[in-house]
Amino acid sequence: MKESIIKINYLYNSAFKVETENNILIFDYYLDTVENGSKNASNGAIGEEDLASQKQILVFVSHSHPDHYNRIVLKWKEVNPNIKYILSSDIRIDNKVDDIYMITKDENISVGEIGIKAFGSTDLGVSFLITLKDTIIFHAGDLNWWHWYDESDEDNRKQEVDFKKEIEKLKNERIDIAFFPVDPRLKDSYALGADYFINNINPQVFIPMHFREDYNIIKQFSKKHREKDINIFEISRRGDELSISIKK
């Protein structure tokens, strides 16, 4: 049985670099600076050495909020002209760039051998279900059970209904690796959506996001699910790396 390694780097907030045998996927890139050292994925940002890869690079942007989308990603084509972009249709592109795929909720597209399906969000844009050769990846974007303490009960109830409706659509999908919000700004409700997602979708690997640099909330969340048969990436810094072994 052949083994394939998937390498994942936490960049910042909801941004990750995912490297497989043949592809590099970059999600919701935002912060384009590093605190120390060279600019590369191991330090939490994408640099020229990351972009110079001979592997197929796909850049995903779930929506236009500035903490999920930095226009610098479009300039990466100057370093590697083979980069392809999968962008939510709410994003406006001022200057035409080749190899951009605009995608809307419930749309399916293929980029080479990679299948991409857009699911909805409870905020702006889309979430992504990505089918690779041996692995299925879900990146939630801003899909979450948002429960804000300064919002009305009616608004929070609508958020719950909309969220559960979207998760229902995912129940028939196999998901190996899931990137999903665990947002400390929601206070005691920080894990409402993530708990529901894990209990209903049961991914093999769960990767928290949308927490910026509040690494304590990740430890707290991981401790909650310690008894479950799930691998939770306890991110502790920008550039932090997880290697996952996939048996073929």
pLDDT on residue 247: 63
Half-sphere exposure of 212 (CA within 13 A, CB side): 5
- Residue 89 is given by DSSP the state T
Name 230's Cβ contacts closer than 8 Å, sequence gap at least 6: 198, 202, 203, 204, 205, 206
pLDDT on residue 248: 55
7 pLDDT exceeds 90? Answer: yes
d(CA 11, CA 28): 10
pLDDT on residue 96: 74
d(CA 31, CA 16): 11
Classify each residue of 14-46 as buried b or exposed e, where b means 16 or more C-beta atoms within 10 Å of its C-beta. bbbbbbbeebbbbbbbbebebeeeeebbbbbbb
Mean of the pLDDT values across residues 201-221? Answer: 96
pLDDT digits (tens, 9 = 90+) for 54-71: 999 999 999 999 999 999
- What is the chain's length? 248
pLDDT on residue 187: 94
pLDDT digits (tens, 9 = 90+) for 213-240: 999 999 999 999 988 889 999 999 999 9
Number of other residues whose CB lies within 10 A of the CB of residue 220: 14
Q: Where in the chain are the domains?
A: 3-247
Q: Which residue has the tokens 């994925």?
A: 41
pLDDT digits (tens, 9 = 90+) for 68-126: 999 999 999 999 999 999 999 999 988 777 899 999 999 999 999 999 999 999 999 99
pLDDT digits (tens, 9 = 90+) for 152-175: 999 999 999 999 999 999 999 999
What's the mean pLDDT when you consider all of the chain? 95
pLDDT on residue 3: 72
Query: Between β-strands 23-27 and 15-19, what pairing exists: parallel, antiparallel or unpaired?
Result: antiparallel
- Residue 201 is given by DSSP the state H
Mean of the pLDDT values across residues 26-44? Answer: 96
41 pLDDT exceeds 60? Answer: yes
pLDDT on residue 94: 80
> Domain 3-247 classified CATH 3.60.15.10?
yes
Residue 58: strand, helix, or coil: strand
